[in-house]
């Protein structure tokens, strides 16, 4: 039986061009998934660890996408593949450590807060009126990254916790002025109610 010559060039082209179609397909799927999930995760409030969910999602997408180029590994020597695996693990661990130690916020990606200068009137419930600055965060880290800055103000240092005190007998959106019923997304336990000057309240004719 005659020997069939081994066409190295043809095999190499097949290994390089063959994974291109599934690779492009998976990249397109990745873009579509991220375009859906990133806006949704940015609006779920602070009840879910959004960063962890996105990290798991990205790791799954990356694993599936890179599986398209696994045929190219047959062109790599086993010794080189072992070294590549070792450096990949070290690079991943280093990236995680740097991400943990670095600041999560920057001028290009600031921390989003909700500020409401409110005045609550309980005249129909025989409770004293109160007013203040209500602060809530839009990510799962809550307001803890801001604690050192706010703690330096003696007027606020003892109020850096969830609102407490006499509650109205009737609970409407956790007694705070929501325009929409989203108190389950940004619960009161992750907010601060800081003392402030009373706002300029105007009576609405009825």
A 10 A CB-CB count for 186 gives 21
Q: What tens digit of pLDDT does each residue of 17-33 get?
A: 778 888 889 999 999 99
- The yes-or-no verdict on residue 192 having pLDDT over 80 is yes
Instruction: Tell me how far CA of residue 142 lies from CA of 37, 84, 95, 118, in angstroms.
Output: 21, 39, 24, 20
Instruction: Give the per-residue pLDDT at 169.
Output: 47
Instruction: Tell me how far CA of residue 63 lies from CA of 91, 130, 182, 195, in angstroms.
Output: 16, 54, 36, 50
Residues 136-142 have a mean pLDDT of 79
Residues 92-109 have a mean pLDDT of 82
């Amino acid at each position: 039986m005659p020997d069939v010559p081994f066409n190295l060039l043809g095999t190499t082209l097949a290994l390089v061009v063959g994974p291109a179609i599934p690779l492009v397909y998976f990249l397109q799927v990745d873009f579509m998934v991220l375009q859906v999930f990133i806006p949704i995760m940015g609006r779920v409030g602070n009840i879910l660890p959004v960063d962890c969910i996105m990290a798991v999602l990205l790791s799954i997408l990356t694993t599936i996408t890179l599986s398209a180029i696994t045929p190219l590994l047959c062109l790599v020597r086993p010794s080189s593949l072992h070294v590549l695996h070792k450096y990949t693990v070290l690079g991943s661990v280093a990236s995680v450590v740097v991400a943990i130690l670095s600041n999560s916020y920057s001028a290009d990606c600031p921390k989003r807060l909700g500020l409401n200068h409110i005045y609550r009137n309980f005249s129909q419930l025989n409770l004293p009126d109160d007013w203040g600055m209500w602060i809530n965060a839009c990510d799962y880290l809550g307001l803890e990254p801001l604690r050192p800055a706010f703690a330096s103000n003696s007027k606020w240092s003892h109020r850096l916790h969830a609102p407490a005190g006499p509650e109205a007998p009737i609970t409407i959106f956790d007694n705070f002025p929501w325009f929409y019923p989203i108190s389950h997304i940004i619960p009161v336990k992750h907010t601060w109610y800081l003392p402030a000057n009373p706002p300029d309240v105007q009576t609405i004719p009825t």
